[in-house]
């Protein structure tokens, strides 16, 4: 299903371009499941063979990631997430005390989580939500998001630039499997971390 949506978006923009890269990476940084590997690796490849400027594509991808993260920060984090949990959290076994504990835990390492989260599948889509919900310092959030997203986009584009479409095809085949493995690893780590805290 995702590939159909992806192809529809590319057809709308007339292929992979600065505008479509920005739009797709905006979706990638929000809650829509657009794998950045399917956008930035081909972008790097096109920069080599199609005359598109490498650095402008990198800027488009980075700015798109930042814009999507800002939307998550404000809309899903501050405007929806926090009021929702305050009103309905008790039905999810999240009382005010637990909310404050989660806030303290996140803000204690918010800079690390925000930066490293940009390199982890699935987490990339979601890390901006707790940052907004717990009102992480916005300029710092934006700076770390830009640095992390820019570095991630650069790595993917270099893969595409030097190794071509074959790398994009391999990544597209195994993106789902890698995401599942990462999520399982994060759950295991989270359980271990909470047990250690207790």
pLDDT tens for each residue of 68-126: 999 989 988 888 877 776 666 665 556 666 666 667 777 788 888 888 888 877 777 77
Alpha-carbon distance of 143 to 114, in angstroms, equals 10
**Given pLDDT bands bounded at 50, 70 and 90, which one contains residue 1?**
very low
Alpha-carbon distance of 148 to 79, in angstroms, equals 25
pLDDT tens for each residue of 3-55: 555 556 556 556 678 888 999 999 888 877 677 888 888 888 888 888 789 99
Domain residue ranges in the chain: 2-197
Alpha-carbon distance of 190 to 16, in angstroms, equals 38
* pTM value surpassing 0.85: no
Three-state DSSP at 16 gives coil
Alpha-carbon distance of 14 to 19, in angstroms, equals 10
């Amino acid at each position: 299903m995702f590939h159909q949506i992806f192809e529809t978006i590319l057809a709308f923009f007339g292929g992979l371009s600065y505008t479509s890269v920005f739009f797709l990476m905006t979706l990638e940084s929000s809650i829509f499941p657009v794998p950045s590997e399917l956008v930035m690796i081909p972008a790097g490849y096109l920069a080599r063979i199609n005359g598109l400027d490498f650095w402008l594509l990198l800027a488009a991808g980075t700015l798109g990631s930042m814009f999507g993260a800002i939307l998550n920060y404000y809309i899903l984090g501050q405007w929806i997430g926090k009021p929702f949990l305050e009103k309905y959290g008790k039905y999810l076994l999240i009382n005010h005390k637990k909310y404050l504990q989660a806030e303290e835990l996140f803000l204690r390492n918010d800079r690390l989580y925000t930066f490293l989260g940009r390199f982890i599948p699935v987490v990339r889509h979601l890390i901006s939500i707790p940052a907004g919900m717990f009102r992480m310092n916005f300029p710092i959030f934006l700076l770390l998001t830009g640095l992390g997203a820019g570095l991630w986009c650069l790595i993917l584009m270099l893969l595409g630039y030097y190794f071509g479409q074959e790398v994009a095809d391999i990544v597209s085949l195994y993106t789902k499997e890698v995401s599942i493995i990462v999520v399982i690893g994060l759950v295991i780590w989270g359980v271990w971390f909470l047990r250690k805290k207790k």
